[in-house]
Amino acid sequence: MQFNPMDPEFVADPYPTYHRLRAEDPVHHSPLGFWVLSRYEDVVWSLRDPRLIKEPIAAFVAARLGQAPPGLGLSMLDRDPPDHTRLRGLVSKAFTPRVVEQLRPRIQQIVDGLLDKAATARQMDLIEEFAYPLPVVVICEMLGVPLADHERFKGWGLDVARGLDSIMLPPDSEVAVRSIESRRALSAYFRELIAERRAHPRDDMLTGLIVAEEAGDKLSTDELMATCILLLLAGHETTVNLIGNGTLALLRHPEQRERLRNDPGMIGSAVEELLRYDGPVQRTARIPSEDITVGGKTIGKGEMVMPFIGAADRDPAQFPDPDRLDIGRTDNRHIAFGWGIHFCLGAPLARVEGQIAINTLLRRLPALALATDRPEFRQSLTLRGLASLPVTF
């Protein structure tokens, strides 16, 4: 088979293609120039094996695009140990489950405020008016970014997120060009904000990162910029898609929605199942530091490997009846947040935001219903999320 991630049918519903890949060619070499892994076992192995690394990806992308996107390769997401360990250690304390649990009252307050605002209209775009604002407010408050600026960086964030697909698109595509321009704009924005925070320190994560940068041996100026951009964008992207995709799945499976509404104590396992069933991040990337063999095929040193998380989480070898949504599913070892050293730092925060948002939606809007038969997904091959989700209640 020929795997074509540009196919509109694949963007709308990638899971039938994933089933074909696993059955017919689970270690697939795409004509677009990369390897696709689709079995759970292979994907987990690729995320744990230290021979599959991150740092060469920046040079790979720069060679493909003819220029290096600003900041690419400098955040912890793009680094291998020991730099990855150093950078992750600087921010990890802000996202521990204990710290995140203390945010529950504030998250509930934000959720209730958003629903209060929408209540009288009896309809809303769940993405624009609920799923997007919630995590943006939370990460802005944690990082120390003025909430009044969130409309400025919303478009930039969407462009940068779409730019994650650049290695699968033609080098001169508009996606790549806009992504680079938006990275420059975000860098300029944070330069101004960092200068302001140097002059007027506060008790926030940004001030803490500036202190680390000023120490010299912990964080360089470029790493500071890249870390700020990563925290701002990653701090809301996964949660927007978790809430949007998860609500859509529940509305399409009314028996599961009613099961959760009647027993809100199931929200923990429900969110894990929603993450598995239609996860926010569909794929990641690695490059072998030496020749490797997987599934009987040899992948050469320096070739691009794409482990497809979305495919792994529907693998029947790991999940019985994987296309069935079951909010009470047990032994649900999904990998929606990745695996190994790059396991998503913000997973505890995304989980709590998703739990509070979805439970509150079902409790306060019992008549919640889709206002369209064909919700529109964003044109992204890496991040799976809805462009909009019109609902009535």
Torsion angles phi and psi, residue 383, rounded to 5:
-100, 120
- Residue 22's domain comprises 8-392
**Exposure b/e, 231-245, CB count within 10 A at least 16 = b:** bbbbbbbbbbbbbbb
Mark out the alpha helices in 253-371 (DSSP H runs). 254-262, 267-277, 309-312, 347-364
Are 88 and 77 contacting, i.e. CB atoms less than 8 angstroms apart?
no
Residue 276 maps to a domain: yes
Q: What is the pLDDT of residues 245-274, one digit of tens each?
A: 999 999 999 999 999 999 999 999 999 999
Give the C-alpha separation, 230 to 76, whole Å. 9
Nearest to 306 by CA among 105, 165, 141: 165
Residue 296 maps to a domain: yes
Q: How many CB atoms lie within 10 A of CB 27?
A: 19
Residue 21 maps to a domain: yes
Number of structural domains the chain divides into? 1
Are 305 and 46 contacting, i.e. CB atoms less than 8 angstroms apart?
yes
* pLDDT for res 299: 98
Q: In what order do the strands lie in the sheet with 123-125?
A: 123-125, 390-392, 369-370
Residue 199 makes CB contacts below 8 A (sequence gap 6+) with none
**Where residue 254 sits, what CATH number does that domain have?**
1.10.630.10
* pLDDT for res 169: 76
Are 385 and 240 contacting, i.e. CB atoms less than 8 angstroms apart?
yes
Residue with the two structure tokens 């990337």: 285
Give the C-alpha separation, 68 to 62, whole Å. 4
Task: Please report the DSSP string for 85-109 in residue order.
Answer: HHHHHHHGGGGSHHHHHTTHHHHHH
Q: What is the DSSP letter of 278?
A: T
* pLDDT for res 258: 97
pLDDT by 10-residue block (mean), the chain, 393 residues: 84 95 96 94 98 95 84 93 95 92 97 95 96 95 91 87 83 85 94 95 94 88 93 91 98 98 98 98 97 97 97 98 97 97 96 98 97 91 95 97
| CB burial of residue 370 (10 Å; 0-12, 13-18, 19+) | middle
* pLDDT for res 118: 93
Residue 2 maps to a domain: no
Mark out the alpha helices in 82-200 (DSSP H runs). 83-91, 97-101, 104-119, 126, 133-143, 150-162, 174-199
Residue 12 maps to a domain: yes
Are 46 and 287 contacting, i.e. CB atoms less than 8 angstroms apart?
no
Residue 3 maps to a domain: no
- Please, what is the end-to-end C-alpha distance for the chain in angstroms? 43
* pLDDT for res 6: 79
- Helix, strand, coil shares of the chain, percent, nearest 5, are 60, 10, 35
Q: Give the per-residue SS3 of 214-272.
A: HHCCCCCHHHHHHHHHHHHHHHHHHHHHHHHHHHHHHHHCHHHHHHHHHCHHHHHHHHH
Give the C-alpha separation, 128 to 108, whole Å. 18
Residue 219 makes CB contacts below 8 A (sequence gap 6+) with 87, 90, 209, 212, 213, 227
